[in-house]
Amino acid sequence: MSPLAPISLASASPAGRAVPGVSDTGEKKAVEYSLATKLAAEFIGTAILMIFGNGSVANVELKNTKGHHAGWLNIAMGYGFGVMFPVLMFGAVSGAHINPAMTIAQAAVGMFSWSLVAPYIIAQLLGAVAGQLIVFEAYYPHYKETDDPDAIFASFCTTDADGWKRNYFVNEFFGTLILVLGALCCLALPWGQKEPAVASIVVGFIVCGLVTSLGGPTGPGLNPARDLMPRLVHQLLPIPNKGTSHWNEAWIPVVAPIAGAIVGAFIFRSIFA
């Protein structure tokens, strides 16, 4: 089971032409996409998440952008839209996980096939790289002009504002737990299945709310692909004044979101499904 059931594309068939999602008798039917199409959706969806999310951070943090110091709400909206739009676009195609934690959590509670976990995660990781590279290219002059390594790093990945690994883990764990539980309640319960577009918009607002409420300590990440791959890109790109990539704590925004996601999916499966 994916978090968003396939949406039937119901419309009249012109001149007898076959219409995806509509049977010959005019009845709605689910569209089954190939694995390649699903992986393309995960790749593009994750790239969009990075462009909207980390792009909003770059706009706020990097020197001489028109959004410089625009504030935290700008970033919250960027990540909220960065999740909302891929779910609207690709929820009916791949489930729009765009997050390895979501993929693993659903598989762990029997809502997703384990045979698809590795391909989905690979697509998500590659999508995160592509999206981050687009952000870098779009803001290239501003990366060269920025001399604050923390500002540069923030547009790639997360770290704990207080330098406390325990707090880093706790924040990422509970943030992802709430995200996954909220997303599944919206997208997989009957009301969300009936109104998937409305449910997708609500999920975007959940992300926006999490950034405004739990984003202070760590960012937050809430997604291993969103943190690990941009961190690698940060390490490899020749950016002046970029500073360290903080690899000593890189395991936290990978392990904590996965653990939190599994607990969130378990709560959903045990109580609400």
- Structural domains for the chain: 33-272 (1.20.1080.10)
pLDDT at 28: 60
Residues in a beta bridge with 106:
none
Q: Which of 133, 128, 87 is nearest to 227 (CA)?
A: 128
Q: How far is 246 from 147, CA to CA, in rounded Å?
A: 18
Counting every residue written for the chain, the total comes to 273
The contacts of residue 197 (CB under 8 Å, 6+ apart) are 88
pLDDT at 26: 54
Instruction: Say which residue the tokens 């779009």 belong to.
Output: 138
Cα distances (angstroms) measured from residue 161 to each of 29, 154, 215: 49, 11, 10
Instruction: Say which residue the tokens 């790749």 belong to.
Output: 43
pLDDT at 31: 85
pLDDT at 14: 33
Q: How far is 28 from 22, CA to CA, in rounded Å?
A: 5
- Taking the chain (273 residues) in consecutive chunks of 10 residues, what is each chunk's mean pLDDT? 35 36 58 96 98 98 96 97 98 97 98 98 98 98 97 96 94 98 97 96 98 94 98 97 96 98 98 94
Residues in a beta bridge with 28:
22
